[in-house]
Amino acid sequence: MSKDAIIIRTSWLYFIYENNFVDTILRLGKERDELNIVNDQIGSPTFATNIAETILDLIQNQVSSNSNQETQIYHFSNDGQCSWYDFAYEIIKLAKIECYINPITTKQLTSLAIRPKNTSMSKRKITKEFGMHISHWKTSLIRCMNNL
C-alpha cells in the first residue's frame, strides 16, 4: 500500500447528471402528486462538484508540500445535516414543482436494504489540516439546481 495516499469518504453523493437522488426526486415530483420520503435517516448530501474541487485542492496541496506523509483517511460531505425528507423537500421547493412530500419512517418504507439512521461524518480533520471552507448542503443544492 502506498504510504502517501489520501482516501476520502463521502456520503449522499449527487450531481447534475442522471441516476442520483436529486434526479429521481425531480422526475418523480413531475410524475406524481405526492411522494413518501423517510424522515428518520440523517446525513449530509454531497454535491459532486464540491468534492471534485476538494480533491483537486488536496492533490495540489500534496504536490506543493512534497511530503511523504502516511496514508490518511478524510471525511468530506457538504456542511450541515438533513433527513432524506428535508433533502427532497428542498429539491421540490427549488424546482417549483407542485408535489406534496409526505414524511414517513424507515419502518413504513418497503425496502430490503437496511439503512443506518445517521450517516453524518465529522469533517474536523480535513478542515483543520487543510484550512478549507465547506459549503452548506442547501447552498450546494442551489448551485446544482442552477446548473440543471
Q: Distance between CA 12 and CA 97 in Å, rounded?
A: 22
Q: How many helices (H) and strands (E) does the chain have?
A: 5, 8
Task: Tell me which DSSP letter residue 86 carries.
Answer: H
Q: What is the pLDDT of residue 67?
A: 61
Q: What is the pLDDT of residue 66?
A: 56
Task: Tell me which DSSP letter residue 76 carries.
Answer: -
CB-based contacts of 41: which residues, under 8 Å, 6+ apart? Answer: 83, 84, 106, 115, 116, 117, 118, 119
- What's the pLDDT tens digit per position in 89-120? 999 999 999 999 999 999 988 777 888 899 99
Nine-digit cell at 9?
Answer: 469518504
Residue closest to 124 by CA, chosen among 59, 87, 74: 74
The distance of Cα 50 from the centroid of its chain, to the nearest Å, equals 9
Q: What is the pLDDT of residue 69?
A: 73
Average pLDDT over residues 39-48: 97
Q: What is the pLDDT of residue 1?
A: 54
Please check the confidence at residue 17 and state whether its pLDDT lies above 90.
Answer: no
Nine-digit cell at 47?
Answer: 454535491
In whole numbers, what is the pLDDT of the chain averaged over residues?
91
Domains and CATH numbers, the chain: 6-146 (3.40.50.720)
- What's the pLDDT tens digit per position in 76-86? 999 999 999 99
Please check the confidence at residue 58 and state whether its pLDDT lies above 90.
Answer: no
Q: What is the pLDDT of residue 45?
A: 97
Average pLDDT over residues 47-75: 83
